[in-house]
């Protein structure tokens, strides 16, 4: 039995081919989000950058499990599903939310709070089988606290407001960043959340600076206040995290979790390994 497994955030998608639970091939494409991309755009990307690698396996694939950012309602799932079905010529395609992927990868069959801290952010209370509660995250404009986009946006706001330490401002501009370049990328080009999240890389490079550490810490504090503490009896559950931001800032995340009265559990960069284990079963 062949299974095609996909985990997609707003930045990248991991694709894995399983034969009777064993990984025989894996690939990467750009990330997909039906709030920002159309069925046609998803189709084009898959034809160009996935089909050449998976075409030999597709006639044997029995089922595709796709977990993706933005796949939280029927309309969005159809946007993604139609693009996949058309490009890969598969009929048995299961589209699920990236929150379910995070919960399955992090918690398996145990209960807990599963968090996504990557380009965007989200969380859920998982009962070991399904998502029991979800505090909605409304994207980089109105939410996504603790995410790469939030960290980048907070840093840029401080830059525009003249609040950065002089050495940080100088180093930032030495990288080629300036007011017009930032505004052009945010307001005129596609995927502004991805651009803002890319700025969090500069923050990471300078995280030893007390100002930068405090900036990231405040973003995580906001995430706990606006998301985690709103779940029923939240402090009785272990908090787990998946995504590059939680992974690379793990020590700060752990510090905030402890100060807020939580236990931080598993912190992984990508859910794909956990999903492989889940689907093996």
Q: CATH code at 11?
A: 3.30.420.40
Tell whether 162 is covered by a domain: yes
Distance between CA atoms of residues 196 and 218, nearest Å? 17
121 and 80 part of one domain:
no
Residue 277 domain-assigned (yes or no)? no
Bridge partners (DSSP) of residue 133 are 125
Beta bridge partners of 117: 121
pLDDT at 153 over 70: yes
Q: Do 24 and 139 belong together in one domain? A: no
Does residue 139 form part of some domain?
yes
Beta pairing, strands 2-8 & 61-68: parallel
Residue 101 burial (CB count, 10 A): 30
Global pTM?
Answer: 0.81
Cβ atoms of 121 and 113 closer than 8 Å: no
Tokens of 50: 């996935």
Q: How many domains does the chain have?
A: 2
Please write the tens of the pLDDT for every residue from 63-116. 999 999 889 899 999 999 999 999 999 989 999 988 999 999 999 889 999 999
41 inside domain:
yes
String of DSSP letters for 188-253: TSS-HHHHHHHHHHHHHHTTTSHHHHHHHHHHHHHHHHHTGGGSTTGGGSEEEEESHHHHHTHHHH
Instruction: Choose one of 91, 122, 148: the last residue of a domain.
Output: 91
Do 115 and 59 reside in the same domain of the chain? Answer: no
Residue 281 pLDDT more than 80?
Answer: no
β-bridge pairing 61-68 and 22-30: unpaired
Residues 209 and 245 in one domain: yes
17 by DSSP, 3-state: which? strand
255 and 128 in a single domain? The answer is: yes
- 124 and 32 both lie in a single domain: no
Range of the domain at 17: 2-91
Which secondary structure element, helix H or strand E, spans residue 65, and what is its range? Answer: strand 61-68
Q: How confident is the model at residue 59 (pLDDT cuts 50, 70, 90)?
A: very high
- 230-273 pLDDT per residue, tens: 999 999 999 999 999 999 999 999 999 999 999 999 999 988 88
Q: Is there a domain that residue 229 lies in?
A: yes
Q: Each residue of 199-224: pLDDT tens digit?
A: 999 999 999 999 999 999 999 999 99
Domain-located, residue 104: no
The answer to the question of residue 177 being in a domain is: yes
Grouping H, G, I as helix, E, B as strand and the rest as coil, residue 185 is helix
**Alpha-carbon separation of residue 87 from 16, 39, 100 (angstroms):** 17, 10, 24
pLDDT digits (tens, 9 = 90+) for 15-52: 999 998 889 999 999 999 998 899 999 999 999 999 99
102-106, long-range: CB within 8 Å, 24+ apart, which pairs? 102/242, 102/271, 103/131, 104/271, 104/274, 104/275, 104/278, 105/242, 105/268, 105/271, 105/272, 105/273, 105/274, 105/275, 105/278, 106/240, 106/241, 106/242, 106/265, 106/266, 106/268, 106/271, 106/274
Give the Cα separation of 94 and 99 in Å (integer).
15
192 with 53, same domain? no
């Amino acid at each position: 039995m062949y299974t095609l497994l996909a985990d997609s955030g707003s930045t990248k998608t991991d694709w894995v081919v399983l034969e009777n639970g064993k990984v025989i091939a894996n690939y990467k494409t750009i990330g997909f989000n039906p709030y920002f991309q159309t069925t046609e755009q998803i189709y084009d990307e898959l034809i160009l950058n996935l089909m050449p690698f998976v075409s030999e396996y597709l006639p044997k694939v029995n089922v595709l499990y796709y977990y993706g950012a933005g796949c939280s309602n029927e309309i969005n799932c159809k946007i993604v599903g139609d693009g996949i079905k058309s490009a890969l010529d598969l009929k048995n395609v299961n589209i699920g939310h990236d929150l379910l992927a995070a919960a399955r990868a992090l918690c398996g069959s145990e209960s807990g709070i599963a968090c996504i801290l990557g380009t965007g952010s989200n969380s859920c209370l998982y009962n070991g089988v399904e998502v029991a509660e979800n505090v909605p995250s409304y994207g980089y404009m109105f939410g996504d606290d603790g995410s790469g986009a939030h960290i980048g946006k907070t840093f840029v706001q401080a830059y525009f407001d003249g609040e950065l330490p002089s050495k940080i401002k100088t180093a930032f501009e030495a990288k080629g960043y300036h007011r017009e370049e930032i505004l052009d990328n945010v307001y005129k080009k596609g995927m502004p959340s991805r651009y803002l999240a890319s700025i969090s890389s500069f923050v990471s490079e300078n995280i030893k600076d007390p100002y930068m550490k405090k900036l990231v810490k405040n973003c995580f504090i906001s995430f706990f206040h606006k998301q985690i503490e709103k779940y029923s009896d939240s402090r009785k559950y272990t908090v787990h995290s998946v995504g590059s931001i939680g992974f690379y800032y793990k020590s700060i995340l752990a510090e905030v979790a402890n100060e807020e009265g939580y236990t931080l559990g598993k912190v992984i960069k990508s859910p794909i390994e956990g999903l492989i284990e889940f689907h093996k079963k």
